[in-house]
Structure 1
Amino acid sequence: MPASVTQRQIARTVLAERGIARLAELRNAGVTAATMSRMERNGEVVRLARGLYQLPDAELDANHSLAEIAKRAPKAIICLVSALAFHGLTDQLPRQIWLAIGRKDWAPQPEGPATMRIVRFTDCFLNESVETHVVEGVPVKVFGIAKTIADCFRYRNKIGLSVAIEGLQETLRQRRATPGEIADQAERGGVGTVIRPYLEALTANG
């Protein structure tokens, strides 16, 4: 049927432009759920999770799972170990994606291959030092480097002190943030006294 062919073309165009698209976006473009189901059965699209699609030949970014999560939970912010990995500050590949959301925000449900760890931040911590990076055409919110280091020390009991120290070492080694910027964020996060000895030890020899 011509209408079906047209819908297929629209679906392919939307997915080519956006990388990952939700069913709601495809519907808004004039593509029905039935068409998407047929395309999935025929191998024309890949269903990543419920209502989330991608073209089968799409080039996957190393941060593909972050794009997938951001599409489903656009308000959530990549934090802690996942933010360290995104910024290239840890050798660890987190098994879960660490997400910061507000105290009263809806928590996205795990679906598909990506699993999540939700951390609820108060508004003052949630709205500070947020960067937006585009991954596979999807805007992904990630905390900035100095704030991520401070947060890792704030949540050291959740992620492990060794992970926080490694992130701090790498940040200073790569000169991605200054000791002053890190100390400032640590003070704001209430962990200034916790991080100070490590900062002093790591900067003592220049």
Structure 2
Amino acid sequence: MEAARSLGVFRAREFVGCGFSREYLRRLGARGEVTQLSRGLYRYRKFEAVEYQTLVEVAKRIPDGVVCLLSSLVFHRLGTQAPHAVWLALPRGHRRPSAADLPVRLHVYSKVSHAAGIEEHELPGGTVRVYSPAKTVADCFKFRSKVGIDVCVEALSDCLRQRRATLPEIERHAKICRVSRVMRPYLEAMQRVAQTPGICRLRSSSGSSTWPVRSARMPTCS
């Protein structure tokens, strides 16, 4: 019981790895102490529903996946999107997981792009892998035909305004995603806007470039 309580959301093999048998897990299920969410995935009955519970469940079922694009934007509080499914990235060549019972939208990334910019976040019930804000913005421009260019621009603007990424980070991931040329006009437009009255400039960590940030929303700009 204590193992189920501490794990929160868990796979059967994790429970067995704590020294308990599958038969004991079945007995807990029969008593209503744990709930089977899907094949091989369980949740302790008193585990509090949290904001990112679905992400935890998906991470348990598809451990090689990384939360990406719209779902990553929501996680980082960038933009105004509210996807109904978890957008998940898998490396090219990966076997397509059996997840028909999960609200998941899968996207195939190159192996290099899939491995770049991964953050691991400890949430109640488990660890979730999510792309960093800078990688997420670059990914959105890469998949702009799927998310919409307006979403890309909004994400880029929020990322810079909230200081969630530095200029070198964004440039590095733009190169990895091969969207440097695509992003350049939008970045240059933001530079021009920076010269408008009421706008201050946000300096990158390298000190070599600056980005526009509205001073009314970011009063501490230097």
TM-score greater than 0.5 by the shorter chain: yes
Aligned twin of 1:84: 73
* Mapping 1:134-153, distance limit 5 Å: 134-153=122-141
1:171 pairs with 2:159: yes
Partners of 1:52 and 1:181 in 2: how far apart? Answer: 36
1:118 to 106, 124, 131: 106
TM-score of the aligned structures, taking structure 2 as reference length = 0.80
Which structure: greater helix fraction? 1
Partners of 1:42 and 1:157 in 2: how far apart? Answer: 49
1:111 Cα deviation after fit = 4.8
1:34 Cα deviation after fit = 4.2
Cα–Cα, structure 1 residues 203 and 60, in superposed 2: closer, same or farther, change >3 Å?
A: farther
Partners of 1:13 and 1:93 in 2: how far apart? Answer: 35
Partners of 2:161 and 2:73 in 1: how far apart? Answer: 14
Partners of 1:149 and 1:37 in 2: how far apart? Answer: 44
Deviations 1:63-122 (A, max 9, x none): 11111111111111111111111111122221111111111212222254x411111112
Partners of 2:17 and 2:118 in 1: how far apart? Answer: 29
Report if aligned partners of 2:9, 2:41 keep a CA contact under 8 Å in 1: yes
Q: Which runs of 4+ in 1 moved over 6 A?
A: none
Partners of 2:48 and 2:181 in 1: how far apart? Answer: 45
Q: Which runs of 5 or more structure 2 residues have no equivalent in the other structure?
A: 195-211, 213-222
Aligned twin of 1:154: 142
1:184 pairs with 2:175: no
Q: What is the number of equivalent residue pairs in this alignment? A: 194
Partners of 2:167 and 2:15 in 1: how far apart? Answer: 46
2:47 to 43, 58, 61: 58
Aligned twin of 1:95: 84
Cα–Cα, structure 1 residues 15 and 90, in superposed 2: closer, same or farther, change >3 Å?
A: farther
Identity of aligned residues (%): 37
TM-score of the aligned structures, taking structure 1 as reference length = 0.85
Larger displacement relative to structure 2 (150-159 or 193-202): 193-202
Cα–Cα, structure 1 residues 28 and 181, in superposed 2: closer, same or farther, change >3 Å?
A: closer
Secondary structure of residue in 2 paired with 1:165: helix
2:190 to 162, 182, 202: 202
Secondary structure of residue in 2 paired with 1:151: helix
Report if aligned partners of 1:21, 1:52 keep a CA contact under 8 Å in 2: yes
Q: Which runs of 5 or more structure 1 residues have no equivalent in the other structure?
A: 1-11
- Higher RCO, 1 vs 2 (CA within 8 Å, ≥6 residues apart): 1
Letter in 1 for 2:181: T
Deviations 1:134-157 (A, max 9, x none): 122412111111111011000111
* Mapping 1:2-13, distance limit 5 Å: 12-13=1-2
Cα–Cα, structure 1 residues 203 and 59, in superposed 2: closer, same or farther, change >3 Å?
A: farther
